[in-house]
Structure 1
Amino acid sequence: MNLRTAAEGGIPADEDKQIPSWHALSTAAVFAQLQTSDEGLDPQEAGRRLECYGPNELPAPPPRHPLLRFLAQFNNTLIYFLLSAAVLAAIVGHVIDASVIVGVVLVNAVVGFIQEGRAEQALNAIRDMIAPHARVLRADRQHDIDARAIVPGDVVMLEAGDMVPADLRIVRARNLLVNEAILTGESLPAGKREEPAPRGAPLGDRHSMLFSGTLLASGQATGIAVATGAETEIGRISALIGEVQTLETPLLRQINSFGRFFTYFALAIAVALMALAMLVHDYPWVDALMIVVALAVGVVPEGLPAVITITLAIGVQRMARRNAVVRRLPAVETLGAVSVICSDKTGTLTKNEMTARRIATADRETLVTGAGYSPDGRIETMEDGVAPAETLLVRSALLCNDAELVEAAERWNVLGDPMEGALVTLAMKAGLHPEAERERFARIDEIPFDAQHRFMATLNRELDGDSRIFVKGAPERVLAMCAGQISGEHGGTDAAVDAEYWRRRIAAAAANGERVLGFATARAPATLERLGFRDVETGLTFLGIVGFIDPPREEAIAAVADCRSAGIAVKMITGDHVDTAVAIARQLAIADDPRAMTGAEVDRISDHDLGAVVEGTSVFARTSPEHKLRIVRALQQNGRVVAMTGDGVNDAPSLKQADVGIAMGRKGTEAAKEAAQMVLVDDNFASIVAAVKEGRTVFDNIRKVISWTLPTNGGESFCVVLAIVFGLALPMTPVQILWINMILTVTLGLVLAFEPAEPNVMQRPPRERDAPLVGPFLAWRILFVSILFTIGVFGIYDYAMRSGLGEPVARTMVVNTLVVMEIFYLFNVRYLHMTSFSPRGVLGTPSVLLALVVVVAGQFAFTYAPFMHALFGSAPVAFFDGLIIVAIGIVLMGILEGEKALMRRFGPLRKANG
């Protein structure tokens, strides 16, 4: 029997998946369909099914050979060009330079190999979530077996604390609560019972099912295994992860595009120059090749990949200090391009601490201040006088309660159910001491909460002998058990229950996103020792309701405001109920008027139409893994760069699909962490926004590195090109060009990686997804600065030759002029979006000042040390000539600051600055 074709026999099935809707079947139908009974399978039949269906484990994907993964790191156009430059350098005898270039390429390959290897652990992390052992009933006898041996039709028995080993249809349930957060995102345990669920019920509402990998929070259960291994919900999610292709980050995509263009352009110029030198100026081919090598050495930014890698690594360190651990280097830069953050609600945008926010009695409604489990706060109407109805309600909430609060490390934690913990906090705010109250009103007996009858009741006896029953539960269920309601004014039962009044109160609380519990009480005979259903099902007095909410984090509210000012949309994607999600969205001010959709509504929209819908929707509630994947993909198809947060197995596919997957460090599963590019140590949305700021800073610094590096190479290349075109002597030798590149790349080029964020970094809109690495402003800046550098080079060379200083001195002055111009240009490029003429801009950072010391020392050695004269053909320069060189740098700085001011007012920087 194949479960995937079982629907052909008339079994209700999900139309799109052709899988039997086990949650909608009666237990008798499930037994019949799976050809088993409440005594379990015969051991021989179980063995046959194990051979048929295979072990209850997730299939491992075929591993990629490490050598192939390592070689894939070299599949990049710029890397090819760098390796070609290394070969040319080796051919003409520059073995050291060739070795440096090859070393840079190898370092980048090793870093990429290590980071990529960790990504392949995502499926393994999910695979490990299958429970190792299980208790099954076979031939009416219990067996403790390896969970991998469970087969469809097995009867599995579970109790509180057990992990569900396969997808089970519940046969018997007692007080059953299950933590399904890894699949549904629900913050509270879900109640389970035997009755069939509606056929179209979403995953979180399938109360008749237990899913593999979830955890029993309380109670006991017996279930029939209906799916094992890859057929389970976890297995389906694992398959989704395997289908998701890891996206190329914007930075890598731009570097590859830039590298291809740069390679073709440089090769074309080199071939043309070699032909010009040989055919027009009669250069021997060896000399022409030397010129081409000089051009290649000048034009290739061989240190650029290394500096970009270092810039990303520094960003990783900065983010780690902001509680964001980056697992893949390119994700640092990608964060800076994020235009949409899709965030989970519970624990990320909210505290993940239930708080009693509202008390409603028959006469009035009062608010409760404070948030979380801390008893700091008060009940507003109890400040001047104690209202009997409210006091009795709070006492009922404390005594009909199994939770405890514990203070540790200045933090209050709940032991037990989160909502019950919130009620203990409520009692402490009302001035009741939990231990003293529970000692004064000793518990004699109880009826535990059960999802079927939806209430909990306790029998408590006061020290003076009076007995009282306290009840809490679903408000409509508790109301049905009550004969009257208590008045807050008089403390007695005034009249029959006003059902319409309470319906309005409950609806108002639900509209505010609150979960609601109802409370009731009754006096009990002093002789009553055992509490039964007949004692509580009628004749109670209704006390009122309490509304609970998981409040938003204060820092998350500020972080959402920062996102909106930075042009970043925030979308809440949660498994929670839509009213709760919308209420939190309003408190967070995610949008002026948050629009919400449920997962069921997403199902009714085609992929083509979903792209337009997701842009105007701020809240997605009751979502499944497929919904999250579709939402992320729709946003990406709209050109958005998407960051996605998550903590459960259900989030892993969308975390991998997103441009930046962000897993929760505290409550996140290993599957989520392995699928993500970044892990939040504190599970705080504000840390995401801080990471986005660092990501924007990293990209700014990469642009600064490029806009500083390429003009140097451009100026050197222009000099070589002009010398060949006009038949002039080269103003610098190839070895001198190498010296410039070496001394500047390891000093000034590197310090830009340490630059702090510019003041307006979070007031700018995010850059477009397909924005080129070298945009119009940067292209203009490279061309403009290259021309200025070329003018400076030929100007100082002509001055030296006209002054009769000789070619060695002239070339030494050219090298020094280039270095000085680079120094002044560095101060200009440190601030691309504002003027550099400020105390902060002029003084520089410690890194800049240290690099300046090294460069100046190196240039003095190049100019005046005899051994450097022998290596590089340099010569001493007179003091006055040195002043002229410095003056050229100052003039360059003034010109570029003027150009920057014009660009900020009229050009591309005006848009970038908002």
Structure 2
Amino acid sequence: METEKLGLSSNEARKLLKKFGRNEISRRKKVSAWKILLAQFSSPLILILIFSAILLGFVSYFSSEKNLLDIGLIVAVVLISGISGFFQDYKAEKSIEAIQKMAMPKARVIRDGIETLIPSSEIVKGDVILLDEGSIVPADARIISSSKMKVDESILTGESHAVKKRKGDLVYMNTSVVVGRALAIVEKTGMGTAIGKIAGKLESMEEEKSVFYQEMQDLSKKLSFMVIIAAIIITVAGFFKYGLFNSILSGVALAVAAVPEGLPAVLILSLAAGSKVMAEKKALIRRLGVVESMGSVNVICTDKTGTLTKNEMQVVTIFSEGISFRAEEVNPEKNIELIKNFTLNNNVRETFDGKERLVGDETEVALYKFSKKKGFGKEVLEKSSKRIAEIPFDPRRAMMSVVIREGTLKKVYTKGAPEAVVRRCDRILIGGKVRKIRKKDIERILEANNEFASKALRVLGFAFKEVRGKIRESEAEKNLIWLGMAGMIDPPRPEVKKAVGECKSAGIRVIVLTGDNPLTARAISERIGLKSSGFVIGEELNHMSDNEISRKLSEGVNIFARLNPDHKLRIMSILKEKGNIIAMTGDGVNDALALKKADVGIAMGIRGTEVAKQASDLVLLDDNFATIVSAIREGRRIFDNIRKFVNYLLTSNLAEVLIIFFATIFLALKEPILLPVQLLWINLLTDGLPAIALGLDPARRDIMKEKPRKKSEHVIDKRLSAIIAAIGVKKTIILILTFLVTLHFYNDAVARTTVFTGIILYEFVRIGVIRSSENLGWFSNKLLLSALLISIVFQAIVVYTPLRTLFRAVPLGTGPLAILGVGVITGYASAIFITRTINTWFSGSKEITDEKNKE
């Protein structure tokens, strides 16, 4: 093409940009703010409250009694719940767009025959781009000329080693140039690139609803159905007792009592608080519901490079003078020529963009870091040493060499495959003296090389010689003096071993899914304490059925290597079919589909591509496996707390419903035992601050020593259902007795106010019982203690100030308060007994079931 020489003109580029669009990964599915807001009011429970307010307003319009306060409180509760939910969902939606809008790198192109720096989003098909070390490839392009070009394509392939590129080869958008330089002509941009096609598939995939989300939806529907039926019964029964207005008032009162108005808001705020805690621990939540899902994960499918490892090669072992040393044990004074070889026979460049950065092949970077740490950096050696020639690496020779001038002396430094380098050596450096190399020396070198290779180390051999006079290239790599070997590996992060052990204690299986070498994956797994019954590579998976893969997983194979994206999806699907809840990590475009399908998709924040982040539910800001374990701990804490406040709210609401139902059917009262305004106030006080504070309880000490909950296990399981029912009935009995005893000694107004206050006090007793069963002290959650005190103060204001007229309350003297005190003590003692009895019974049933399953 003509553009190969000159590139495009600015005018041509503008026309192509207008025709084909910007070079961006576009996000087609966007949700408007209005849709997010309206969705907050689509819950059946919220709709019941809205209908109750409308009905109350309609009746009030035709009645002498204007229940404006009741209507206002219902509307306020609906708005608070809806607006809090809107802000959380809108914030999550905006975070997705923010990721997409993150600044893309600049690109060097030839426009109008001149090298120009432009935003990569403005690149068009036909542009000629310039690539060199450290460049991010801005679009899919074909190389038209290159020099020693290597590209890191791990974001697409998962392969951690750089790939050589020659004239005619393709380079792909968002891959990075490790060494060398090239000119390339752009063939595809934006959604037409390899990355864009995967992003398009992500857009078309339906997002699966979490188990928790589905359960909350089901709970909402069931509660709504029961509320409607109960409200109708009460309204019909009340009509013959109270007349039309009071019967509707009773029905609305029951609806208000039954609906846990605070549940949606408390859920959202609890999850939001959990996401904030996770963010402080370097785990950024992109979808709020995933906070709870993290707690139920029982399989983590993790990449190796950068997640389990540091994502940087390091020299870990040196072989010198026939002995292997750990890197930190090496004495530089006794290995001067070897370490000088590391520095001088090296093409790494030091750059500064706010902080020091090394650009070059990862192996050479590792060697240079080691030598610089030992005091042999280029800034030191190049004062007395000057490179005068280089013999580049050639796969046929399996080595590279440089010629260095030191004063009047010339030296050749060679590095390469140990077996190739040692064949070029006729001497060896031992104890600072050069002697003839022997057969035993060579055998020991090759033996050490095999030993290093078996540990999945990348091994290089090093040699040198001194030269006087002229030197021919053909003679430079002959008659060398053997110096030693260096073994390198991308080592595991120091905190990962503990995290893997914690996963084991918590019943969480860790499976390595990598595009890298299986021996390297096995070596890393052994170092972090991850056991596996062998490994399976991608080529083998191609010839295996799903049943065979399932059998391998059942046999304890936890390492799968040389995988492509389809392999990862297949393994994850097989695991999910068996009822596992999967957390999948990934950083590259090749991981995006699997991230989208996983129960919890986890993208890498540092080295992750934007496509991977967009597909994920959670982004690790530090790319660290240990952060995943911290997030799981937080997820378990949140699930525990959700279960606690669901227990608390539903027990309270059940008691309120039963009290109204019993009083309407069996008691001869002129008005409902509790009015809508009183019930709304009760729910505001108890469903508000105390419930939110309960959702912030600290984690139990043994929370990571339990197995994950099963996919089939609900928030409200049989044990919790029994506790809610039993405590709800017990509470109803005590409050009805409290009402009757007070009514015997006082009038209707005092009895109603006593029950009004009693419900609030007994709900706080319920919190005490819940925390007692969790072995948590009152002072472990100071916010909860403050919330309870504030609620009691507000109730006292309603009862003992002029505000009482709005709530139809009267001041309570010592007599009614004494009756309440007896009820509180009785309620607490009986609740402790009931809770322990039910827990003991269900624990015994579980043990029997487990024994049967073992048999």
- Compute the TM-score of the two structures, normalised by the length of structure 2: 0.86
Q: CA deviation at 1:450?
A: 6.2
Residues 155, 744 of structure 1: CA spacing in aligned structure 2 closer, same or farther, 3 A cutoff? closer
Residue in structure 1 matched with residue 759 of structure 2 by the alignment? 818
Aligned to 1:646: 586
% identity of equivalent residues: 31
Q: Work out which of the residue numbers 253, 268, 287 in structure 2 matches 1:309.
A: 268
The Cα of 1:237 is off from its aligned counterpart by 1.9
Q: Does 1:724 align with 2:697?
A: no
Q: Deviations over 1:455-499 (max 9, x none)?
A: 331112334x33221111343543454456555796423236977
Query: 2:794 aligns to what?
Result: 858
More displaced, 570-579 or 54-63? 54-63
Does residue 597 (structure 1) correspond to residue 536 (structure 2)? The answer is: yes
* Cα distance change, pair 461–707 in 1 and its aligned pair in 2 (3 A): same
Aligned counterpart, 2:647 = 707
- Answer whether contact 1:191 1:451 (CA < 8 A) is retained: no
Does the 8 Å CA contact 1:407/1:413 hold for their aligned counterparts? yes
Q: Using the TM superposition, give the Cα deviation of residue 224 of structure 1 relative to its aligned residue in structure 2, in angstroms.
A: 6.8
- Cross-structure match for 1:340: 299
Deviation at 1:606, TM superposition (A): 4.8
- Structure 2 distance, partners of 1:786, 1:694, is 30
Partner residue of 1:520? 463
Distance 1:651 1:107 in 2: 35
Structure 2 contact 109–129 (Cα < 8 Å) conserved: yes
Per the alignment, residue 213 of structure 2 pairs with: 252
8 Å Cα contact 2:107/2:117 also seen in 1: no
Which of 828, 839, 842 in structure 2 is aligned with 1:893?
828
Q: What residue is the counterpart of 2:686 in the other structure? A: 744
Shift of 1:700: 1.4
Looking at structure 1, the residues matched to 3 and 349 of structure 2 have their Cα atoms a distance apart, in angstroms, of 42
Q: What is the aligned partner in structure 2 of residue 111 from structure 1?
A: 87
The code of the aligned residue for 2:391 comes to I
Secondary structure at the aligned position of 1:554 is classed as: coil
Residue of structure 1 in register with 2:63 after alignment: none
Does 2:268 match 1:287?
A: no
Other-structure match for 1:16? none
The within-5 A match list for 1:669-708 is 669-708=609-648
Shift of residue 714, structure 1, vs aligned partner: 0.5
> Following TM superposition, by how much is the alpha carbon of 1:357 offset from its aligned partner in structure 2, in angstroms?
1.3
Q: For residues 438-449 of structure 1, what are the structure 2 equivalents within 5 Å? A: 438-449=382-393
Distance 1:447 1:480, change over 3 A: same
Could you list the per-position Cα deviations for residues 613-656 of structure 1 after superposition, in whole angstroms to 9, with x for gaps in the alignment? 55643223233333333333433333222223333333333333
3-state DSSP class of the match of 2:704? coil
1:581 pairs, out of 518, 521, 526, with: 521
For 1:891 and 1:551, the matched residues in 2 are separated by: 61
Preserved CA contact (<8 Å) 2:8 2:112:
no
Write out per-residue CA displacement over residues 239-287 of structure 1, whole angstroms, 9 at most, x where no aligned residue. 2322332222233221101111111222222333444445xx5664443
Please identify, of 646-655 and 483-492, the stretch whose mean Cα deviation from structure 2 is larger.
483-492
Equivalents in 1 of 2:756, 2:283: separation in Å? 43
Q: Distance in 1 between matches of 2:275 and 2:494?
A: 26
Q: Pick from 35, 39, 54: which aligns with 1:87?
A: 54
SS in 1 for 2:93: helix
Mapped to 2, the partners of 1:548 and 1:233 lie a distance apart of 32
Match of 1:233 among 186, 194, 202: 194
Q: How does 1:525-536 map to 2 (within 5 A)?
A: 525-528=468-471, 533-536=473-476
Distance 2:175 2:608 in 1: 14
- Structure 1 residues 245 and 452: alpha-carbon distance in aligned structure 2, compared to 1, 3 A threshold: farther
Give CA-to-partner distance per residue, 1:521-571, whole Å, 9 cap, x none.
Answer: 23323344xxx6423454334433211112212212111111221112222
SS in 1 for 2:705: coil
For structure 1, which segment, 247-256 or 621-630, has the greater mean C-alpha deviation from structure 2 after superposition? 621-630
State the match for 2:339 in structure 1.
394
Cα displacement string for residues 790-843 of structure 1 (whole angstroms, at most 9, x for unaligned residues): 0111111121123x21111111221222222111211222355x335xxxx144
Decide whether aligned partners of structure 1 residues 884 and 507 sit closer, same or farther in structure 2, where only a CA change above 3 A counts.
farther
2:316 matches 1:357: yes
How far off its partner does 1:415 sit?
Answer: 5.4
TM alignment of 1:553-564, pairs within 5 A: 553-564=493-504
The answer to whether the Cα contact below 8 Å between 2:428 and 2:434 also exists between their aligned partners in 1 is no
CA distance in 1 between counterparts of 2:151 and 2:143 reads 12
Query: In structure 2, what is the Cα distance between the partners aligned to 1:585 and 1:447?
Result: 38
The 1:717/1:851 distance shift into structure 2, 3 A limit, reads same
Q: Which residues of structure 1 form unaligned runs of 5+?
A: 1-34, 196-207, 369-376
Map 1:345-424 to 2 at 5 A. 345-361=304-320, 363-368=322-327, 377-379=328-330, 382=331, 391-403=336-348, 414=358, 416-424=360-368
The partner residue of 1:100 within 62, 76, 79 is 76
1:121 counterpart SS class: helix
- Aligned partners of 1:421, 1:667: CA distance in 2, in Å? 18
Structure-1-length-normalised TM-score: 0.81
| Structure 1 counterpart SS, 2:769 | helix
Q: 2:804 aligns with which of 866, 869, 874?
A: 869
CA RMSD of aligned residues (A): 4.0
Determine if contact 2:417/2:460 at 8 Å carries over to the other structure. yes
Amino acid at match of 2:345: C
2:511 to 571, 595, 599: 571
Equivalenced residue count is 831
Partner of 2:151: 178
Q: Tell me if the contact between 1:594 and 1:618 (Cα under 8 Å) persists in the aligned partners.
A: yes
Match of 2:137 in 1: 164
Amino acid at match of 1:667: R
Structure 2 CA distance, aligned partners of 1:747 and 1:193?
65
How far does residue 351 in structure 1 lie from its aligned partner after superposition? 2.1
- Specify the SS of the correspondent of 1:96: helix
Question: Is this contact kept in 2: 1:193–1:451, CA < 8 A?
Answer: no
Inter-CA distance 68–884: structure 2 relative to 1 (3 Å threshold) = closer
Give the Cα–Cα distance (whole angstroms) in 2 for the partners of residues 310 and 800 of structure 1.
39
What SS is found at the alignment partner of 1:118? helix
Conserved in 1, the CA contact under 8 Å of 2:304 and 2:513?
yes
Cα pair 1:611 1:637 within 8 Å, conserved: no
Q: Deviations over 1:86-124 (max 9, x none)?
A: 434544532212212330343145225414533763995
Distance 1:76 1:614 in 2: 41
- Pairwise CA distance, 1:307: 1.1
Give the secondary structure class of the aligned counterpart of 2:156. Answer: helix
**Closer/same/farther in 2, CA of residues 134 and 910 from structure 1, 3 Å limit:** farther
Note closer, same or farther for the CA distance 1:473–1:239 as it changes in structure 2 (3 Å cut). Answer: farther
Give the C-alpha shift of residue 763 in structure 1: 1.5
Deviation readout 1:179-230 (Å, 9 max, x if unpaired): 32332345554333469xxxxxxxxxxxx54222222232133557666654
Report the Cα distance in structure 1 between the residues aligned to 2:513 and 2:24, rounded to whole angstroms: 27
Q: Displacement of 1:786 after TM fit?
A: 0.5
1:150–1:295 CA distance, 2 compared to 1 (3 A): closer
2: CA distance, partners of 1:474 / 1:56: 46
- Whole-Å separation in 2 of the counterparts to 1:610 and 1:75: 43
